């Protein structure tokens, strides 16, 4: 249901495109040729604009729903603990968690803003990160920037832990020699 609500802006553009198509068909029944041409031109303009804007929203929303993949050298449980501690430090609310498998969180929003949703999945040594605007709020360009920042925040936390682990293992190897 949340996924369907997320695509409401695209559905509104399709609805407007349908209204423009009806306007074009209706213009065929106008008596005055000058009015018919004007109404047809307006309908075509609206149809093209609505379809273009709908395609832009659809493409942007589809891109936001894709997971960003981060390769690590850690196991899923270690990655989960790293991400969970980063989420708690950031003050986000954890919506659901399956240790070693998945974590869903909602970011802390401003006074009139609920925040964005962040979903993280752990498969082997891979971490998959996705972030979208909260479906109950809808699509926003500012929210898209926040979502990109949230994905980068989680990515940086996971990579920092991987780098720390690599540094520690290098030091351990040096001590042995």
pLDDT of residue 168: 46
Q: What is the spatial distance between Cα 148 and Cα 177, in angstroms, rounded to a whole number?
A: 44
Same domain, 9 and 28: yes
Containing structural domain, residue 77: 67-176
Tell me: do 94 and 28 sit in the same domain: no
pLDDT tens column, 81-135? 999 999 999 999 999 999 999 999 998 765 555 678 899 999 999 999 998 887 7
Question: For 31-45, what is the mean pLDDT?
Answer: 91
- Dihedral sign from CA coordinates of 61, 62, 63, 64: positive
On whether the CB atoms of residues 102 and 121 are closer than 8 A, the answer is yes
Looking at the fold, whether 59 and 113 belong to one and the same domain comes out as no
Position 144 scores a pLDDT of 80
- Report the pLDDT value the prediction gives residue 110, as an integer from 0 to 100: 58
pTM of the model: 0.71
Number of domains in the chain: 2
Residues 135 and 166 in one domain: yes
Q: At what angle do helices 33-65 and 8-27 cross, to 10 degrees?
A: 160
120 and 148 share one domain: yes
């Amino acid at each position: 249901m949340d996924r369907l609500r997320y695509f409401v802006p695209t559905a509104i553009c399709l609805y407007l495109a349908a209204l423009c198509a009806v306007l074009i068909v209706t213009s065929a029944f106008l008596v005055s040729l000058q009015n018919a041409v004007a109404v047809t031109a307006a309908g075509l303009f609206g149809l093209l604009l609505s379809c273009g804007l709908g395609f832009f929203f659809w493409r942007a929303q589809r891109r936001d729903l894709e997971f960003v993949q981060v390769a690590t050298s850690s196991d899923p449980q270690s990655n989960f603990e790293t991400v969970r501690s980063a989420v708690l430090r950031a003050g986000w609310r954890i919506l659901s968690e399956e240790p070693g498998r998945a974590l869903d969180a909602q970011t802390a929003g401003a006074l009139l803003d609920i925040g964005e949703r962040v979903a993280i999945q752990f498969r082997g040594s891979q971490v998959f990160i996705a972030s979208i605007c909260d479906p109950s709020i809808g699509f926003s360009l500012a929210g898209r920037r926040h979502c990109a920042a949230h994905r980068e925040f989680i990515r940086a936390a996971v990579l920092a832990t991987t780098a720390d682990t690599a540094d520690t293992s290098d030091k351990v190897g040096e001590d042995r020699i």
